[in-house]
Every structure is written in structure tokens, then in C-alpha cells.
A and B are shown apart, each in its own frame.
Chain A
Amino acid sequence: MGDSNEESPPEKKRRSSSLTLTPILNQSLSSTDIQLINVYTAKIRSKKDASNLLKLLPPLPSDLDHLKRIRSTKSDSLEAIIGHQSLQDDDPALDLLTPSTIHKAPVPQLRPLTSFQFKKSNECWPCNFHPDKEIEKLVSENCGLSAEDMGVVANNVKTVMDRFFQMKMQTCAVYDPIDKELVCVANSKPSLLHHSVMNCLEMLAQTQRNTEERIGNRKWDFGEIVCKRIVRNKHSDYLCTGMDVYLSHEPCIMCAMALLHSRARKIFFVHNNMNNGGLNSVVKLHCLDGINHRFQVFKVTE
């Protein structure tokens, strides 16, 4: 299976006992290249002038306000960002700067969004950074999952991959992390649009509609409900609210959106779908602006 060659920082790939998770993030989060922009900088004449200079300089424009105004250099002097434009000849701030050192210097163009980007940006010019707890978890070891959770992931991945190899059909499984049990598993059918995700959702919906209180081990020609308890009206009315979904292959755009409509919590997939993948390869639906439900997506490498 062809993998996308999207680069991810080494921090993002962490080995568990047997598998590796890569979070599929917005380009702005997964980017490891720090884009630079040239702005005017100058050395400050004397360290004690720094606070006065801050009062004299016009505030940084909003597109630069992720940058610290002043940094100390290796030679133990201070250096300040003037801005996109240099200063007028009669600007009082000039008295506090060393005019011969005014020059254009590269600084990070964008606000760092992860601690990785923060670290890299700081090598160029010190930045402000407000870590997002969820994102930091995602880019940390095992994407923030505990060893126990990683064991669950490994089991569920094995379930879908075993079925995929057995049936030679893409496979989807739904796991309930609250009750800690597999809910259903299905493979695709050769008929039009009967993909494994849609089949799983259909089984869940039929089960939800069922008026019988106990549903266990119900079978369809493409899959089965495998939990023994009441599925009906659990958690909420959306079929996959709070559920984790495991896939042998990245879902197509249709199935990816179906999972969004069904409010899944986390998606794990093994192989990329280069032709029509909706969560990594062709588009990342969960990263689009204006989508009203977000789930986390992970590519699993066995």
C-alpha cells in the first residue's frame, strides 16, 4: 500500500510494543518547516535602554505579534525588531539603537502551534507560545494514549486486519471505549457504495431501531454486532457518539463524512486510500473550516 510521504517530526512517531500512531493533523500543525519573513532589526545601544525603547517603538503589527520584541545576542547585547519598515531619520527611537546595525533579518512568519514548532522557531527568533493541551497530547508519546489504551488499539487493529486478510475486503469496526468492548465489525461488499463504514452504520442503526431490549451476536452478510448488551439509546442518539472506529483502510470521502455525521470520537486506519481518502490522502475532512464536529484521526503503522 502506498503511503503518503507527508513529513512529520520525529517526535510524532513513537513506537509502542508493536505499532506506531501518527496523528493526522492540519497542515499548519504538522508542518515542520518554519517559514521565515524578513523584518528590520537593530542592536540596542545599551541594555538599560531596552524598556525605554519599547515605549518609543510603535507596537508590532498583528501579523508579527507572535514574536518577542527583543532578544539577546550571542555577544550579550540586545537586538530589537523595528517592524516591516525601518524608522524615519528623525525618529526618537533611533537614539537608543545602533544605526549601523539596522538591517533586514529573517524571523518566523507564523505563530508556533506546537512545542516542536516553538522549539524550531526559537532557533531563529524567540516567539510567544501558548500550548494547546489537546494538540500537545496528540504530538506527544503514543499520541497521549496510555499503555492500556495502546493495547486496546493493537487488539482492534488486529481484528480489522485479520478480517481484511480473511475476506479480502476493506473492514471497519466500532469500539465503545466506555464499556471497553467491540460493538460491531463489517467488511465492504462489492456492490456499489456498500463500503464497510456504511455497513457498520447500517447495522448500528438497525440495532438502535430494534425494539427488543437485548441484542447480541446479530449477523448480516457483511458483518455482525458482537456486543451482547443493549445498544439502543446508549450515550446519545447519534450512532457513533463517543465511539472509536477502526479501519483497515482510510475511508473514502463519502465514508469519512458519514463518520462525521455519526459523531465518531476517534478514527484509526492502517492503509492510506490514495484515490479517494477523506481523512489524509486526498482531503482531511476533519481539518476543514466550518465542519461542525471534530474527531481525532490516527494512521496506524503495524
Chain B
Amino acid sequence: MQDTQAIQHCIGLGPISVRDAADILLTNDLNLNHMDLAFKLAEEALSVGEVPVGCVLVFEQEVIGQGRNFVNESKNATRHAELVAIDEVTTSWAAEKGQENKLEEVFSKCQLYVTVEPCIMCASALNQLRIPVIVYGAANERFGGCGSVLDVFSKGEESFRPKVVSGVRAEEAVELLKQFYKGENPNAPVLKQKRKK
């Protein structure tokens, strides 16, 4: 069930056959179940009045960092879900696992799951960390750095280009954003009913 859904959602790579999509998922060891946590984080953001975006960093099948938008509370316009998740890795996780000196290697083997296309700032951060696999939901028409406004990865070193899978549960991500921009009471039960679909 999860797999068929995943394959159907591998739509962001241009014209792509169901078989190619399956290949991409398999060869990159993607586990789209991680999007569940990303969405949970996005909903948490919505419930506290932040732009609903959630992000999970996975290393060797284990979640090592997670984040949601933190801009209003931190008063820092750069505290996007991706950078919050990265910071969790570089601080708590690295300290706990004694990996402070191996961070570059860890990031270069991570997968990043995020509900909305990383903005240009975050995409550049992912590019500099050489995160090889990026899975996202909705496109970000205002700031998107994975092609919507700019393709950051085409601007960097030619030797590194991540695999980007887009459109995974995009409608859900858009629905959350709509809730936010409408300024609806994020705790309204309507939202949860809608989301369960």
C-alpha cells in the first residue's frame, strides 16, 4: 500500500514511468514512512502559528534529526525546518554518539524528508552538506531552491548532484499551508478530519 502510493507520488521528476519511480525508491533505499514524522512536525508547527513545514534527517535507517519551522518563536527568519533538523544533528545527536568529527561524512550519507520544497537558503545548506537524497512534498513557488525559483544544485560543484524526489504527499502539504495562510484556528477538528482522508 505504502509502495504503490510512493510510486504514484514520484511525479516531480518530469515524465517518469512507474517502473523508474520504483527503481529510484529501491536503489536509494527510500522509506517514505519517514514522511509521517515530517508531517507530524508540520502539524505541530501549524498548531503554534508557525508556517507548517516539517523535516526529518535519516542516517542508516535511523532518524538523527528532526525539525519544524521555528521562525516566529526564535524571531530568526532562518530557522526553517531543515536548518533546525541539521542543528539537532550537529549538536545533540553528534554529542550523544560522539560523532562531532564525522559530521561531514554523516551528512553525505543522509536522506532528508521534508513536507515542502526547501527554499533557496535551505537548498544551499543541503548542497554544502552534500546530502545526497532529498524527498519533498509540495513545491515552494515563492522561495523554492530545488527548481521552483532556482535550482541551487545546478549552481554548485558539478561533482555533486543530489537525487531529488518531489511530490510526495504534496496535496497534504498544500492543505496544511492553506490552513496556515487562511489563518484558521489550527486546532479546529475540521483540519484533522480532512487530513485523515
Our verdict on whether A and B bind, yes or no, reads yes
Show the binding face of A for B, using Cβ within 8 Å. 191-193, 198, 201-202, 204-205, 208-209, 237-239, 252-255, 257-258, 261-263, 275-276, 278, 282-283, 285, 288-292
Q: With A and B bound together, what is the CA distance between A253 and B120 in angstroms?
A: 7
Contact between chains at A191 and B120 (CB < 8 Å): no
Q: With A and B bound together, what is the CA distance between A43 and B90 in angstroms?
A: 74
Show the binding face of B for A, using Cβ within 8 Å. 74-79, 83, 86, 90, 103-104, 107, 119-125, 127-129, 141-143, 145, 149-150, 152, 155-157
**Nearest CB of chain A from residue B111's CB, rounded to whole Å:** 18
Residues of B within 8 A of A255 (CB): 121
Contact between chains at B77 and A262 (CB < 8 Å): yes
Q: With A and B bound together, what is the CA distance between A13 and B105 in angstroms?
A: 45
Residues of A within 8 A of B86 (CB): 193
Residues of B within 8 A of A262 (CB): 77-78
CB within 8 Å for A283 and B155 given contacts A208-B75, A239-B77, A258-B78: yes
Contact between chains at A285 and B120 (CB < 8 Å): yes
Q: With A and B bound together, what is the CA distance between A209 and B70 in angstroms?
A: 13
**Nearest CB of chain B from residue A254's CB, rounded to whole Å:** 4
Q: Which 9 A-B pairs have the closest CB atoms?
A: A205-B76, A257-B121, A254-B124, A253-B124, A261-B77, A257-B120, A208-B75, A258-B78, A262-B77
- Counting residue pairs across A and B whose Cβ atoms lie within 8 Å, the total is 82
Contact between chains at B75 and A239 (CB < 8 Å): yes
CB within 8 Å for A252 and B124 given contacts A257-B143, A291-B149, A292-B142: yes
Q: List 12 A-B contacts (CB under 8 A).
A: A193-B83, A193-B128, A202-B76, A205-B74, A205-B75, A205-B76, A253-B123, A253-B127, A257-B145, A276-B128, A276-B155, A283-B155
Residues of B within 8 A of A205 (CB): 74-76, 79
Chain A residue, CB-CB nearest to B100: A191
Q: With A and B bound together, what is the CA distance between A292 and B74 in angstroms?
A: 22
Contact between chains at A198 and B149 (CB < 8 Å): no
Most buried by B among A261, A276, A285, A288: A261
CB within 8 Å for A253 and B78 given contacts A192-B90, A290-B142, A291-B149: no
Q: At the interface, is chain A mostly helix, strand, loop or mixed?
A: loop
Chain B residue, CB-CB nearest to A283: B155
Q: With A and B bound together, what is the CA distance between A239 and B142 in angstroms?
A: 20
Contact between chains at A254 and B121 (CB < 8 Å): yes
Q: With A and B bound together, what is the CA distance between A285 and B122 in angstroms?
A: 14
Chain A residue, CB-CB nearest to B74: A205
Other-chain contact of B124, A238, A257, A288 (Cβ < 8 Å): A257
Contact between chains at A239 and B124 (CB < 8 Å): no
Q: With A and B bound together, what is the CA distance between A285 and B145 in angstroms?
A: 11
Contact between chains at B150 and A288 (CB < 8 Å): yes
Residues of A within 8 A of B74 (CB): 205, 209
Q: With A and B bound together, what is the CA distance between A288 and B144 in angstroms?
A: 12
Q: With A and B bound together, what is the CA distance between A209 and B73 in angstroms?
A: 8
**Nearest CB of chain B from residue A278's CB, rounded to whole Å:** 7
**Nearest CB of chain A from residue B140's CB, rounded to whole Å:** 11
**Nearest CB of chain B from residue A201's CB, rounded to whole Å:** 6
Residues of B within 8 A of A238 (CB): 77
**Nearest CB of chain A from residue B120's CB, rounded to whole Å:** 4
Residues of A within 8 A of B122 (CB): 254
- 18 additional A-B residue pairs with CB within 8 Å, beyond A238-B77, A263-B77, A276-B124: A192-B103, A193-B86, A204-B76, A239-B75, A239-B76, A252-B124, A253-B123, A257-B143, A261-B77, A261-B119, A275-B157, A278-B124, A282-B155, A283-B150, A285-B120, A289-B149, A290-B149, A291-B143
Contact between chains at B121 and A201 (CB < 8 Å): no
Other-chain contact of A257, B75, B104, B119, B129 (Cβ < 8 Å): B119
Contact between chains at A237 and B121 (CB < 8 Å): no
**Nearest CB of chain B from residue A291's CB, rounded to whole Å:** 7
Contact between chains at A209 and B90 (CB < 8 Å): no
**Nearest CB of chain A from residue B165's CB, rounded to whole Å:** 22
Contact between chains at B76 and A201 (CB < 8 Å): yes
Contact between chains at B121 and A258 (CB < 8 Å): yes
Most buried by A among B77, B83, B90, B142: B77
Contact between chains at A209 and B75 (CB < 8 Å): yes
